[in-house]
Structure formats: C-alpha cells, structure tokens
Amino acid sequence: MVATLSGQQTYLLKVSVDDAESGARLGFANLQIAGTTTGGTTDDSGRWETRLAPGQYQVVASLIGYASDTLAFELTAPKELSLHLRPAAQTLNTVTVTTDDAQLRMTRALMGVEQLNIEEIKLLPLALGEFDVFKGLQLTSGVSSAGEASNGLSVRGGTLDQNLLLLDDAPIFTPTHLFGIFSVFTPDAVENINLYRGNIPARYGGRISSVVDVRNRNPNAEKFKLRGGIGLVSSRLAVETPLTRDKKLQVLAAGRVGVNDFVLRFSEELENTRSRFSDATLKLRWLANDNNIFTLSGFFSQDFYQLDLLTAFRGIIAENNQYAYQTLNGTAEWLRVLGERANLVTKVIRADHVPKLLFPELESDNVIEFQSGIRQTELRSTLDYRVGQHQLSFGGQLIRYDLKPGQLNPGTSNAVGFQQLDTEQGLEVSFYVEDEWNIGDVATLSAGLRYTQFRQLGPGTVRTYAPGEEIREEQLIGSEEFGAGESLQTYSGFEPRLGLSVKLTDRLRFKAAYALTRQYLQNIYNSTTPLPTSRWKLSDKFLQPQRAGLISGGLYAVLPGNGGYEISLEGYYRDIQNLLEYKPGADFFLDQSVETELLQGQGRAYGVELGLQKTKGQWTARANYTYARVQNLVQGNSFSTNINRGEWYNGYFDQPHTFNGSLNFDDGKNNRVGFTLVAQSNRPFTQPNGVVEIGDLVVPLFLERNNARMPAYHRLDFSWTVYNMSMRKKRWKGEWTLTAYNLYGRRNAINVYYQPRLGNGDEEVFLDSPLASYKLAIFGTPIISLSYSFTFE
C-alpha cells in the first residue's frame, strides 16, 4: 500500500490490451480512466499501469485500426484488467475459424470480407509443402484460380488482373513463383490476409473485382527470435529482434530460397533446365514516442528459369529461353496519434516490377535481352476520427504509374536492333471518406465515397483511326505527339460504397452492400493466365477504364448452443462495363499499337454463396457452397470484333458450382490434423468447330470461345502437424508437418487441347479423328511432403 501526497490510499491497476482475434498484445494503445485526467499508452508489450484511489471507474481503450472498448470496474484492491480490442470493421476481419467472434461478424456492416491469418493458412495441406496465401484464399467462397499453376486468383469470376494485390500497401504485379505454383509472400513474415470481394472500403480503388491485402507482421519481439524451416522446394529463415535497448526500434527480416537445379540434373531430359527463386521481407518499426510510430517495409522477390529450347523468334535465334523477373517494393509509414480520437497515417509507397526475357544467341556469347517494367509510386494519407457512434476516415491518394511496355537490347547481335516502345505514364488522384455508424443496437451503416481522376500523361502519341471503321493498322489516318506531363486522356468519377447490417433477431442479421469500382491499369495477355512477362497497359483514348457495379445482400445467423455454429447466405450481381477482350490472334510483344488487338464489351457476374462453420471446440470446420456465373458480351461489325456472334458467352472463369470444406482437429497438446475438400465445376475451354489441313499442319478450327467445360475438379488434402513434441517449454521449438495434397490422386484437368496426331498411338480413343485430344493435369498423383519448422527465442 502506498499513500499519495494527500495521504489517500491508492491501489495498483495493471491493464493489458490485446487483439481480440489473434490474442497478440497491442502496444501503444491509448488508455483513459473516464472522468479523470489519468491516462496513458501501453508499452510495446501491451501493458500499462497506474495507481488509483478506491472507487468505481471506467477504462477506455482505443487504438487505430481497432474499435474502442470500455470496461467498468470497482477498485478495492490491486487489480489486473485485460481489454480485448476488436479490429475496426473496415480494416480487419469478419471471418476466422480460429476465433470466437461470431457476434462481431454478425454486427459488421461490411459484406464479402474475409480474413485469413497465417496460423490458419499454415494448417492447410499444400502442394510441395510450400506455404501459400493463395491456396488459403481459394478455400473462401467465390475465389478460384486458373488451375494448379495460375499466376493469380479469380474472385467471383473476375480475371486475375482485376484484383488489387497489396503487400503492406505496395502492389504486387507478379504474385507467384514457379509461374504460378505458389505465391511469393515470404512465409515467416506474413501475419494476415484480408480479402475484400464485396463492399470494398472507399480507401481502396483501382481494381474492379477485389482487394487482397496481405499484411506482414510488425516486429514486436521482446528478445531475439529466430524461426525457419526446411521443405521439399525451399528453405526459409526469419529473424525478429529489438535493435535498441529500449526496444523502440525493432526489425523483422525473413527470406526464402528455392534452388531446384540440383534436382533437375538428375533428369537427363532436364539437365540444361534451370530454376531458382527467392523472396525476402524486411520490416523496421521505430516507436519514436507515444504519438509517433514509423514503419519501413521492404519486399524483394526474384525468379530465374531457363528452358532448353532452340528458338527462332522475331529475328532472334537463341539456344535457349531464360525468364528472369524481380519485384522490389517499399513502404514507409508514419503513424501520428492525434489525441484519443484521431490518428493520421501517411504512407509513401513504391513498387517496381521488372520482367526480362533473355535469349542467348546461338554460336555466340551474346545475350539478347527483352525487358519491360512497371513502377508505381504512391503517396497516401488517411485521417481516422472517432466521434460518438461514428468511425470516420478521410483521405487522399496520389499514384504515379510509369510503364515500360518493352525494350529490346540486342547486345552485339546483327540480327536485331535496339527497340523501345513508348513509355506510358499516368496519374491517379483519389479522395475518399468513410463512416461506420452504429445506429444503436439495431443497425450498422458503412458508407463511403471515393472520387477518382485518372490522367494519361505524356510524352506519348495518340493515334487516330478512320471513324466508324474497325481499329486496324490499315485504318490509321494520323497521330499527334504530346510532350512530357501533357494530358493525353482523362477519366474521372465518383465511386460510392455502401454497407448495411440490420438486426432481425439476436442471432440473425440482414446485410446488403453496393460498390462501384474503376480500373485504369490492366494486364493484357492472350493465354490462359498472364505470364510474369505479360504486358501491363494503362487506360488511354481507346482502352476505356473497366467499371463494375456490385450489389450484394445476405443473411447471417449464429445458431443456438455453444458449438459456435454460424451460417451465412449471400447473393451478388456484378455488372461490368468496358470489359477487356482480345481479337483473334492478338499478339502484344513489342507492339506499339495494341489498341488494334483489343476489344471491349460488357460482363455480368452473379451468384449465391452459402457458408457454414463451426468455430469452437477441438473440432472446427467450415463448408462453403457457391453457385456463380460470369458471362461476357462483345459486339462488333466484323468477325474479328463480334465474339461468339455477338451473343453472351461464358467468361474464362465461369465455374457454376463450387464446394469447399475443411475439418480440423487440434488436441491442444501436440497434434493437429486437418482435411480439406475442394470440388467445383471446372473452367470453360473451347472445343473446335472443325478441323482443316493447311500445308503440313492439321489445324483445329475455332469460330467461338468457351463453348465447353473441362471435367469437374475435386481434390482431398490432408495435413498432420506434431508440435510441442517435448511437452515442455523450451527456447527451441520445432514442429513436423506431413501433408498429402490430392490424397486420392485425382487427375484434375488444367487444360484440354487438340493437336495433330503423332503416330498411331491411342487409336481406340481418337478413332478416325485427324486431331488428337489430351487432358493435361498436374499434381495428378498424391503429393506427400514433410517439412520441418522451428522457432528459437
């Protein structure tokens, strides 16, 4: 017992603040004893203490990104309190299987928002034992890929480039290693992933389908911490440690390296093939004082592959093909705490993606290099302000795009000369306001408005084609040059975002949402999925911004009992204008006038998503069923521009039925077992409308697109993790994970294709057809992987 100067007795009050979902201690949360001048900030381990006279009090905790929490207590003796802050609605999750936040999910106004945390993803059985953010996301409703190897995700039927992929706010343009086998995000750095596929908050823009917001951990270690692992394909290591004695400067450094060359050398066929990749994350966090936090986040990823293939390509004669691409991103963030109610976050973001194609010339030491690049530089500032039942945010965003569509460096080659396409520049200015308003106990309204203006900037050339004619090289009638900084084309508009959650009963809510989005940057490619080297293109005079309006509504219920059962039913309809399509035979390689190869049309996507999950107990489970369609309409005056006779046709990711289920068991001691089942309609493909022989070539004849569907996809995976093996708390903790991907060896089709028959094989299948047809599958057998992960602290 200690007396104050006045002699009144006081008691010690200890308060700890943590994240209600992850349990992570929250540093620098503001604490205020209501009705007094006593207050303070938690330290970096989430603790704060003070002394108070006996009495009745209320402590109010607040932190940017979290909803405030108030706890009433009576102090009659020394006391310890814990406050569990819920993530603020528009920045954090609605759904995790590992937390007991059903009530929060009920009240949130946002629809179509999913969060996966890293621990949840680590439970998933993975191909080749590699951690993969995307594989985790594919277990949520409405998310799929172009197959096992796909350079991105399709969300509610959208194309891969219609998703804004962010890693600590910096965009990722090539999100996968090994051309799509698994994602690039450094495993030991990632903390959680937010997927916005319904009501996209107004602070996000630039893509029409979804936002995938991947967050790396903030370094927050008391002591030096080391973690890592060894797997079949890659090995990884991460260090997290304070850099100063006061622990106000902390660092997280994590990396992963995959060098598969030594495996390839065992194969006579692949002895000249090369494959290497790596990624690394560095995050520095400096807690300057109670009101200022600075964070610096960097990400690096690189891939190199060599394909042993003699090539004659556009005048280039090469003994093999090499693909080399890298990403270098950085984010600097300054969080300024402006009292109890407001925070200002300012960020400077830079993303740089440089893909290269290398052609070692035949009988020469020279290497011809094709290089392209995309750089995005961004300044963003957001003010968050809490007043009454309103959580307000205001902000602005300035993005500068610099695209190098292609440059050919011949070296000493005589066959080709230096080539460079005109660079593209763009400036996107956006302002946004958001409000999440709790209307008593009855409803929650999330309203946002975003205004965005995009300007295509010079230097550049605007070509003019004969009016009323198809845009073709032959119809070019003139061009106009623009100087640096001059505006070539401007697009702008408002983007309203609305979300409403209405309480019907204590256990049942109705939700509805609307979002309008625009997209000024697109990936153009004439193949199943984009390559890392696929070209990016800004909107211009001919390529108008894609625009989508999404309306959705649904019911959410928590079932009676203590089982933690939840059920949700959600429907949506998305209308797309200026949808991007390609003319037959489009080729964008070093093409100065890509507008002659592009088409634009309309799209529509609609579906119903039914979800059921059990979140409590040793057994947890989730199951989703989705019925979803996506269709395109592209009309024109000629065969080349009138796709599928100008009628609606199935989109490239039209997969009507999808079922995902997962079942996990954790004995709470040292065993964790999980099963995952995925079953879905496969993607459309195109069956030929005939076959012709031209010269020596037997050629399938296609007059339409996406007129058939590949056989259904289904797969069962299994994982078993043994952790805490010694059953004692030790500084070195290791765990073994055994995974079986595609347990029953289903040969799921990733492509069905036609080609001339070679020899007389498989006559009983091909009969008298002049073309052979094959179904291509990868991972067609069970893939058993064993990996070891460790933590040392």
Residue with tokens 């989730």: 622
- Please give the residues from 246 up to 305 whose contact with other proteins meets the rule CB under 8 A: 260, 264, 267-270, 273, 275, 305
Mask 515-534, x = binds other proteins (CB under 8 A)?
-----------xxxx-x---
CB of 470 to other proteins, least distance (A): 12
Between 390 and 645, whose beta carbon lies closer to other proteins? 645
Minimum CB separation of residue 378 from other proteins in Å reads 30
Footprint (CB under 8 A) of other proteins, residues 167-186: 178-181
Binding to other proteins (CB under 8 A) within 707-766 occurs at 707-708, 747, 750-756, 759, 761-762, 765-766
The footprint of other proteins on residues 615-674 (CB under 8 A) is: 639-640
Q: Identify residues 209-248 at the interface with other proteins (CB under 8 A).
A: none
List all residues 6 or more positions away from 379 whose beta carbon is below 8 Å from its beta carbon.
Answer: 346, 347, 348, 349, 397, 398
Q: Quote the tokens at residue 10.
A: 């006081």
Residues in the chain: 793
Q: How far is the CB of 260 from other proteins (least distance, A)?
A: 7
Question: Which residues face 575 on adjacent strands?
Answer: 549, 604
Q: Which of 79, 470, 775, 793 binds other proteins (CB under 8 A)?
A: 775
**Is residue 545 a contact partner of residue 518, using CB atoms and an 8 Å limit?**
yes
Q: Among residues 411 and 571, whose Cβ is nearest to other proteins?
A: 411
- Candidates 697, 702, 685; CA nearest to 776 is 685
Told to check if 367 binds other proteins by CB under 8 A, we report no
Mark residue 767 as left, alpha or beta (left: phi above 0; alpha: psi -120 to 50; beta: remaining).
left
For residue 427, give every residue at least 6 positions away whose Cβ sits within 8 Å of its Cβ, in sequence order, or none. 398, 399, 400, 401, 454, 455, 457
Contact 412, 366 (CB under 8 A): yes
Q: How far is the CB of 461 from other proteins (least distance, A)?
A: 18
Do residues 658 and 681 lie in contact, with contact meaning Cβ atoms separated by under 8 Å? Answer: yes
CB 699, min distance to other proteins, A: 5
User: Which of 302, 687, 724, 791 touches other proteins by CB under 8 A?
Assistant: 687
What span, in angstroms and rounded, lies between the C-alpha atoms of 558 and 125?
Answer: 28
Q: In sequence order, which residues have a C-beta less than 8 Å from that of residue 481 and are 6 or more positions away?
A: 459, 460, 461
Residue of 557, 699, 712, 722 that binds other proteins (CB under 8 A): 699
Compare residues 99 and 748 and give the one whose CB is closer to other proteins. 748
Strand partners, 734: 790
Can you tell me the distance from the alpha carbon of 303 to that of 151, in angstroms, rounded to the nearest whole number? 13
Closest approach, Cβ 242 to other proteins, in A, equals: 42
Q: How far is the CB of 487 from other proteins (least distance, A)?
A: 31
* Distance of closest approach, residue 556 Cβ to other proteins, in angstroms: 39
- Relative to beta strand 508-519, strand 546-558 is antiparallel
Among 509, 777, 785, 787, the residue binding other proteins under the rule CB under 8 A is 777
- Interacting positions 322-341 with other proteins (CB under 8 A): 323
- What pairs with residue 606 in β-bridges? 573, 629
Q: How far is the CB of 163 from other proteins (least distance, A)?
A: 19
As measured in angstroms, the least distance from the Cβ of 129 to other proteins is 13
Residues 6+ apart with CB under 8 A from 31: 15, 17, 39, 40, 41, 42, 48, 59, 60, 61
Among 310, 387, 466, 477, binds other proteins (CB under 8 A): 310
**Residues 551, 499 contacting (CB under 8 angstroms):** no
Task: Select 287 or 752, whichever has its Cβ closest to other proteins.
Answer: 752
Strand, coil or helix: 304: strand
Question: Any idea what DSSP says for residue 616?
Answer: S
Stretch that binds other proteins, among 118-126, 130-138, 315-323, 459-467 (CB under 8 A): 315-323
Contact characters 564-603, other proteins, x per CB under 8 A: ------------------x-xx-x-xx-------------
